[in-house]
Amino acid sequence: MIDLHLHTTASDGTLTPSALVSRAAAIGLRIIAVTDHDTLAGLPEARAAAAAHGLRLVDGVEITAVEDRRDLHLLAYFIDPANAALVDFLAVQRQDRMRRMRDIAERLAALDVPVDIESVIAERKDGRSLGRPQIADALVAAGHARDRDDAFDRFIGSDRPAYVPRRGARPDDVIDIVRRAGGIVSMAHPALTKKDEIIPRLASAGLAALEARHSDQDPAAEQHYRELASRYGLAVSGGSDFHGDAGHRAALFGSVVLPLEDFAAFESRRA
């Protein structure tokens, strides 16, 4: 079984890379990709654990690009984690995450639901990335929200009062950087992103695949993206987007998997 979309404590997952890999091995996964948000920090530990369990680890990262002022997640695979341009690019991405978190914290303070943003930032050392889920956790800890979903619904989700847009990279540039680092890109959870109109443009910019199979996409959505993929000459990828045992995706770890023939077709897009 294959799952190409997994998060660890290097970004907003709740399991360490080794704990995640052990769980993956225990439920019968054979090929996995760790795809933390804008960081490669979980990969060395994941690689060692995967070797110990006899799993194949595909080096990955989920990069946040910005299209029309909204986040667009691009999954990069088979990258060289030592590629200097990619490493530098991701460091800039994480710097902007911090700038944005401080801006969100200012808005929360103005809304009378303050959080201690500097201690949240201080916890994210060693290249671990920071995002709105950590702010949501701080809102919960401060008693301003019931849980992460409540924090997003009332304060920090898109179009909510403390939302601050990202100043991120253009998707076309992300595809370029990833390809220069030896990797290929799949557009993450397209049914959540709801930007089908940009798929033809990204396909000509070198996009390799659409993430047709994902734990938040039903069979009709999977079929829709399989059709779009074949229309634009793309492969398909897939995974659970497991972030740990909290949240609705937890139960889908091990059941939202990518068929081997899809993986083979996707991998054949490597340069």
From Zn ion, Fe ion, none, interface partner of 12 (C-beta below 5 to 8 A by class): Zn ion
Diameter over CA atoms, the chain? 53
Segment interacting with Zn ion, rule: CB under 5 A, options 5-13, 162-170, 190-198, 210-218: 5-13
From Zn ion, Fe ion, none, interface partner of 36 (C-beta below 5 to 8 A by class): none
Give the nearer residue to Zn ion in terms of CB position, either 41 or 203: 41
Give the nearer residue to Fe ion in terms of CB position, either 73 or 124: 73
Dihedral angle sign, alpha carbons of residues 136, 142, 147, 153 = negative
Give the nearer residue to Zn ion in terms of CB position, either 38 or 203: 38
Q: How far is the CB of 133 from Zn ion (least distance, A)?
A: 6
Structure tokens at 53: 């369990």
Q: In whole angstroms, give the CA distance from residue 218 to residue 215.
A: 8
Classify residue 241 by burial, with Cβ atoms within 10 Å: 0-12, 13-18, 19+.
buried
Q: How far is the CB of 175 from Fe ion (least distance, A)?
A: 16
**33 beta partners:** 58
Q: Does 32 bind Fe ion (CB under 5 A)?
A: no
Which of 3, 12, 36, 262: binder of Zn ion (CB under 5 A)?
Answer: 12
Q: In whole angstroms, give the CA distance from residue 51 to residue 57.
A: 8
Residues 6 or more apart whose Cβ sits within 8 Å of residue 92: none
Is 163 strand, coil or helix?
A: coil
Give the nearer residue to Zn ion in terms of CB position, either 71 or 196: 71
Q: Does 188 bind Fe ion (CB under 5 A)?
A: yes
Q: In whole angstroms, give the CA distance from residue 71 to residue 157.
A: 12
Count of beta carbons in the 10 Å neighbourhood of residue 44 = 12
**72 beta partners:** 65
Q: How far is the CB of 39 from Zn ion (least distance, A)?
A: 11
Is 46 strand, coil or helix?
A: helix
From Fe ion, Zn ion, none, interface partner of 73 (C-beta below 5 to 8 A by class): Fe ion
Site size toward Fe ion, by CB under 5 A:
4
Segment interacting with Zn ion, rule: CB under 5 A, options 8-16, 64-72, 172-180, 197-205: 8-16
- Tell me which amino acid residue 42 is: G
Closest to 4 in 3D by CA, of 64, 110, 70, 75: 75
Give the nearer residue to Fe ion in terms of CB position, either 74 or 113: 74
Which of 73, 100, 128, 269: binder of Fe ion (CB under 5 A)?
Answer: 73
Q: Does 241 bind Fe ion (CB under 5 A)?
A: yes
- Binding residues for Fe ion restricted to 36-65, rule: CB under 5 A: 62
Segment interacting with Fe ion, rule: CB under 5 A, options 25-33, 72-80, 93-101, 162-170: 72-80
Q: Which residues bind Fe ion (CB under 5 A)?
A: 62, 73, 188, 241
Q: Which residues bind Zn ion (CB under 5 A)?
A: 12
